[in-house]
Amino acid sequence: MAAAIGVRTDYASADLRGLARCCGDGEQVRRLLALASILDGGSRSEAAKIGGVTLQIVRDWVIRFNADGPDGLKSRKAPGKPSILNDEQRRALADIVEAGPIPAAYGVVRWRL
């Protein structure tokens, strides 16, 4: 079994709890409180219970916190699926939509969603 990744020590557990009190993002609050428990000497399992996650997720949080501090624990939007259209295709599609339908070709006089 590999050793646990150490948590950066330039923040005290009280600092993280203070940030959690002021934070409006519930997900970040969970992460901050879980890491505060680790800094207090608690186990990673206890931190996982506090955060309601698995040990792997706690490990991911530690890595994010070590790299970016409390900002690394903010909720992020998932990147999503990459576009299948390149820039040229995207511009061509925009031009078609802006020009509107050709009634004889499409049988309609306007696009609808």
Going from N- to C-terminal start, the domains of the chain cover: 13-73
Cβ atoms of 35 and 62 closer than 8 Å: yes
CA torsion 77→63→26→47, rounded to 10°?
140
**Encoding tokens for residue 108?**
């309609």
Q: In this predicted structure, what is the pLDDT of residue 17?
A: 96
Q: DSSP assignment, residue 72?
A: G
User: Looking at this protein, which amino acid is placed at residue 79?
Assistant: P
Q: Mind listing the pLDDT tens digit of every residue in the chain (113 residues)?
A: 577 889 998 999 999 999 999 988 999 999 999 999 999 999 999 999 999 999 999 999 999 999 999 999 999 888 899 999 999 999 999 998 888 887 777 777 777 76
| Close Cβ partners of 55 (under 8 Å, ≥ 6 residues apart) | 44, 45, 48
